[in-house]
Amino acid sequence: MIQAKLIWPPYPFEAGFCITDDTDAATFKQTQTVYDYLMSKSVVTSKTVWPFKPNEACGIPATPASTLRGVTLENTEYLNYCKELDKEGYEICLHGASAGNNSRQKTENAFTLMNQNFVPSDTFICHSKNAENMYWEDKTTSTFPFNLILKSYSKHSCSGELPTSKYYWGDICKSRINQIRLFKTRHMNTLKRNPSMPYYDVNKPMVNSWFSATKRSISDCTTNEVLEKLKEENGLVVLYQYLFRYAQPESLKLNESFIEAINRLTSDYKILNTTVSYMMRRLRNISGVFIAYKGKSFWVINASNDDIHNLQIVTDQIADIEFKWNVVKSTDHTIIIKTLPKNSIKFIRSNKEIAFNNKNAIRINRNNCIVHRLPLGKLILNLSDAAWESKEYGFIEPKSFIVETLISGSGNPIFSTLSKQEELLLLTDQVWLIMREILLRRRSIDTNKYLNDSSEILLENHDNW
């Protein structure tokens, strides 16, 4: 029997690598130096920006003024440079309207400015303790005992999801943003630690989906050993960085370890480097692909709202396949589907019995009709040549399916949610990150230390990540 699995990267890639670049404390010259180099190496990122200078402090109560540092798009030279990056395929996305708390009107103005200057991004990265952050601080989780720890540890009020708040923008987020970064991990294959991303949380309805990021240096995540392992696991690195810091403040000399890391990344042509929005859209669409199989036959079902290109099915042995549509069989144990149309079913037959081990694999019964449970609904499949009349589900046409699930604010069917086990692992990672900073970087455990005082919050050193 042939063992097969659907993998998420588009052919010919085996894994992915993307970077979220926080703009905190960035200067224009350092940013320009780093991005000129990245452009020369064709490495793209999801670069956050602040459209405006802050007119409020960051956080309620306020954090020190040092959390407000960083160039904004009010700097015309910087704005023009970001426009150049946008034209080169970089994703320019919001880190909030400014580094300080942002009212609803200011957030609306930020989206207007972004749409006037850049290709619209559906990724949002929250900044620090900003009051407009949604489901933030002690509302991050309801899982015991982490919820109690957060309630005792958190000192800030964030209310972007509350209609009664002056910082409310939940409805805007729901219609314009598809994913917000939340948890961080030290695991270098972010997708392995958070396989459900981008995932929906029913307790946080104003956010269409969440994703996690790896908090490590770029050198750690691009060693030859890590990149080889990443390909073996068909993984994805979503790297959390402050990229401007790889250029020295005065000399603007680039960090040698950064140059070496970029060279290693770009020398591996099996690893896809692109933006966070592209990666999350791909993962979201793949979560809506189901493989139904029986004997030598299998059906590929695309229940998502997008055509999916260069889909890969990897087998443990070479399979002779029969097909009547646009499929290409490679010689390296891979079936490549050039285009799988949205809301479609495609049939493929193998020369041997075949079984799939994906989460979305469905073993079909004798009459080729089945109801497959989804996290928030069901997929009703009729793969037979006759109509299926069901008292519960009604009339289902032959060779068709019905999806019953929640729909996100942007119109996408929701196929992925965060399991309790997965959340516990990610929450454990958060605790370990904090403990590591206390033990190795002497982070203060006094939560009042940086409230309404003049203490400077020092920039983090990537090398210690």
- Those residues whose C-beta lies under 8 Å from the C-beta of residue 207, and which sit 6 or more positions away, are 134, 135, 161, 173, 174, 177, 180, 201
Q: Cα angle at 96 between 92 and 97, to 5 degrees?
A: 95
Structure confidence at residue 463 (pLDDT): 63
Domains in the chain and their CATH numbers? 14-282+419-450 (3.20.20), 287-404 (no CATH)
pLDDT for res 437: 79
pLDDT for the residue numbered 436 = 83
Query: How high is the pLDDT of residue 365?
Result: 86
- Give the Cα separation of 445 and 62 in Å (integer): 18
pLDDT at position 148 = 87
DSSP assignment of 387-442: -EEETTTEEE-TTEEEEE--B-TTS-B---B--HHHHHHHHHHHHHHHHHHHHHS-
Angle among Cα 32, 94, 34 to the nearest 5 degrees reads 15
Q: Tell me the residue type at 374.
A: L
Question: According to the model, what pLDDT value does residue 322 have?
Answer: 76
Which one, of 427, 442, 415, lies nearest residue 193 by Cα? 427
Could you read off the pLDDT tens digit of each residue along the chain, which spans 465 residues? 999 999 999 999 999 999 999 999 999 999 999 999 999 999 999 999 999 999 999 999 999 999 999 999 999 999 999 999 999 999 999 999 999 999 999 999 999 999 999 999 999 999 999 999 999 999 999 898 888 888 887 889 999 999 999 999 999 999 999 999 999 999 999 999 999 999 999 999 999 999 999 999 999 999 999 999 999 999 999 999 999 999 999 999 999 999 999 999 999 999 999 999 999 999 999 999 999 999 999 999 999 999 999 999 999 988 788 776 666 666 678 999 999 999 999 999 888 999 999 999 999 988 899 999 999 999 999 999 999 988 888 889 999 999 999 999 999 999 999 999 999 999 999 988 888 877 765 555 555 554 555 556 566 666 656
Q: Which of 155, 26, 24, 98 is nearest to 452 (CA)?
A: 155
Pull the structure tokens for residue 374: 């989804």
The pLDDT of residue 204 is: 97
Query: Cα–Cα distance between 396 and 393 in angstroms, integer?
Result: 8
- Cis before residue 145, ω within 30 degrees of 0? yes
What is the pLDDT at residue 48? 98
